[in-house]
Amino acid sequence: MARFLAWRLAQFPLILAIIYLITFFFVWVAPGSPFGQGERQLNKDAREALEQKFHARSAAQFLEYYPKEVIFHGDFGPSMQYAEWSVNDILKSALPISVALGLFALTIGTLLGVLIGTLAAVYRGGLFDWTSLSIVLIGISIPSFVTAALLLSIFAGALHWFPIGGWGSIRDMILPGIALSLAPMAYIARLTRVSMIDVISSDFVRTARAKGLSRSIVIWKHCLRNAFLPVLSYLGPAAAGTLTGSFVVEKVFSIPGLGQHFVNSIQNRDRTLILGTVMVYSLFLLTFNLLVDIGYALVDPRVDVTAKG
């Protein structure tokens, strides 16, 4: 396991470097300039001065300066649109908000998804099973921003049960958290149901029941542990997807998270901020996938994550 972790961690810099170069290429070839966006148009001298300040006169100059700062100093440089803020300042202020919202949504989606999927498998073919399948279909079909708009209109606009937007309390987190959790909850419920149906029909389940173990202990302790492996493999991409899915949801609920800054950076062609946010989310994706591999070995010791057994 130690060698496996060391090898996976050693791959991180290479993967992140490739992501940085690919993102840089698309950012640079995209039409538009980060300087003089909107109604304020700059003259030639002012534009050249800003390009020199941000090392953006050419692709070669930009690529020569900023990767070195990121590698040796961990500095993504100043934001091209928010002159008073650096990219690091934006990340420090906005990232904890996005992480808190994403983890809250993922926790709701995982707990409810596992619960619904398990009960649907236990009562297969019944009313609860068909109802859960309908919920899964709705959760998979409706995008998160549509769910966010509906929740905002009904529970904040019409009923006034929750604030319309903003951030600062638990109540501000509930509606966007539900909007983000619906899609992963649907997938997790479906995976849990299919996996539980296979596990329930296994020989060891019949043996456990024959030895006198109660039905609830067999289902929730023994069956669920074996059925959770497919769900665990989904949680890595789901965690990253929940964070990236918060881009539009944060915009709808006016949450000052990293997703809102990422949307604004694309609209404003803020190259340094785009690169900073993409690298942060890429690091999250790599980390979550590594944690999933470790979790495999913890949940089922028979799983050989090194693929050498």
Q: What would the pLDDT profile of 5-47 be if each residue is shown by its tens digit?
A: 787 888 888 898 888 888 888 888 777 777 765 555 666 666 6
pLDDT greater than 60 at residue 305: no
Q: What is the pLDDT of residue 1?
A: 67
Q: Is residue 38 classed exposed, middle or buried when 0-12, 13-18 and 19+ CB atoms within 10 A define those classes?
A: exposed
Query: Which residues, 6+ apart, have CB-to-CB distance to 229 below 8 Å?
Result: 195, 296, 299, 300, 303
How confident is residue 156, by pLDDT bands cut at 50, 70 and 90? confident
φ/ψ region of 86 (left if φ > 0, alpha if ψ in -120 to 50, else beta) reads: beta
Task: State mean pLDDT over 134-142.
Answer: 82
Q: What is the pLDDT of residue 42?
A: 62
Q: Which residue has the higher pLDDT, 154 or 65?
A: 154
Task: State mean pLDDT over 129-137.
Answer: 85
Q: What is the pLDDT of residue 47?
A: 67
Decide: 205 and 234 in contact? Cβ < 8 Å.
no
Please state, in angstroms and rounded to a whole number, the distance separating the CA atoms of residues 51 and 66. 14
Best CATH choice for the domain 93-299 from the list 3.40.190.10, 3.40.50.150, 3.40.50.2300, 1.10.3720.10: 1.10.3720.10
Please state, in angstroms and rounded to a whole number, the distance separating the CA atoms of residues 169 and 29. 41
Please state, in angstroms and rounded to a whole number, the distance separating the CA atoms of residues 109 and 126. 23
Give the CB-side neighbour count of residue 79, counting CA atoms within 13 A: 21
Q: What is the pLDDT of residue 112?
A: 92
pLDDT greater than 70 at residue 309: no
Residue with the two structure tokens 């928010």: 82
List C-alpha distances in Å: 287 to 71, 94, 282, 292. Answer: 18, 19, 9, 9
Q: What is the percent of the chain where pLDDT is above 70?
A: 88
- Per residue in 91-126, pLDDT (tens digit) is 888 888 888 888 899 899 999 999 999 999 888 888
Q: Which residue has the higher pLDDT, 43 or 52?
A: 52
Average pLDDT, the chain: 80
pLDDT greater than 70 at residue 283: yes
Query: Which residues, 6+ apart, have CB-to-CB distance to 227 below 8 Å?
Result: 118, 121, 192, 195, 196, 198, 199
Decide: 70 and 76 in contact? Cβ < 8 Å.
yes
Decide: 298 and 115 in contact? Cβ < 8 Å.
no
For the chain, the structural domain boundaries read: 93-299
Q: What is the pLDDT of residue 111?
A: 92
List C-alpha distances in Å: 92 to 89, 198, 209. Answer: 5, 45, 53
- Per residue in 179-213, pLDDT (tens digit) is 888 888 888 998 999 898 888 888 888 888 888 88
Q: Decide: helix, strand or coil at residue 86.
A: strand
195, containing H or E segment: helix 170-200
Q: What is the pLDDT of residue 301?
A: 60
